[in-house]
Amino acid sequence: MIPAVIVCHGALGEAYLEALAGIYGEVTDVATVTNEDLGAEELESAVAASLERLAGGGIVFTDYFGGSCANACLTLLPARPAVRLISGVNLPVLLYYLAHRHELGMDELVRGIVNRGHNSIRELSPPVL
């Protein structure tokens, strides 16, 4: 099973966990980190501490490239080759991750997550009655 950490602005990470618990059921082995009130170095320290649980390999989800959360993760990534970083986290992506993290290897899981993310944003047409 591949564990994960969600690093997001404000209360987003916890809100995702709460929503996932309502949709998917109990979520284990997913931690969250917020940037709330943290300076750049403090945020890096908080992310580094959470990455300890991914020492054997894992996925970090962050909200968007260019934000302080992604910046902190990117800064720490070179020293952690077993950790993969995915930006643009949303509920479809997290649901895909939960559904497949037990059965897929890391490369395949990451590919699937990214594809799911790409497909998750679309314009929906009203149903034909």
Partner 1 sequence: MDLHLDDRLLHGRILHGWGRRLGARRYVLVIPAAGDPARRAVYAAVAREAGAELVLAAADAAPAPRAGDFWLADGPAAALALWRAGRRYRRLILIGLRRSAGRRLGPDITADEADLDALRALQAAGVGCERRRFPDEAGEPLPPL
- Runs of H (alpha helix) within the chain: 12-23, 40-51, 68-76, 91-100, 106-120
Both structure tokens of 48? 């580094």
- Smaller CB separation from partner 1, 19 or 46: 46
The letter for the amino acid at 39 is: G
Candidates 19, 27, 75, 90; binder of partner 1 (CB under 8 A) is 75
User: Near partner 1 by CB under 8 A, which window of 22-30, 65-73, 101-109, 115-123?
Assistant: 65-73
Candidates 40, 49, 82, 91; binder of partner 1 (CB under 8 A) is 40
78 binds partner 1 (CB under 8 A): yes
Residue identified by tokens 């302080």 is 68
Candidates 17, 38, 106, 114; binder of partner 1 (CB under 8 A) is 38
- Smaller CB separation from partner 1, 54 or 72: 72
Number of residues that bind partner 1 (CB under 8 A): 17
64 binds partner 1 (CB under 8 A): yes
Question: Phi/psi of residue 105, each to 5°?
Answer: -75, 170
Name the CA dihedral angle for 25, 69, 34, 30, rounded to a multiple of 10 degrees: 30
68 binds partner 1 (CB under 8 A): yes
Q: Please return the burial class of 44, using the count of CB atoms within 10 Å of its CB with bins 0-12, 13-18 and 19+.
A: middle
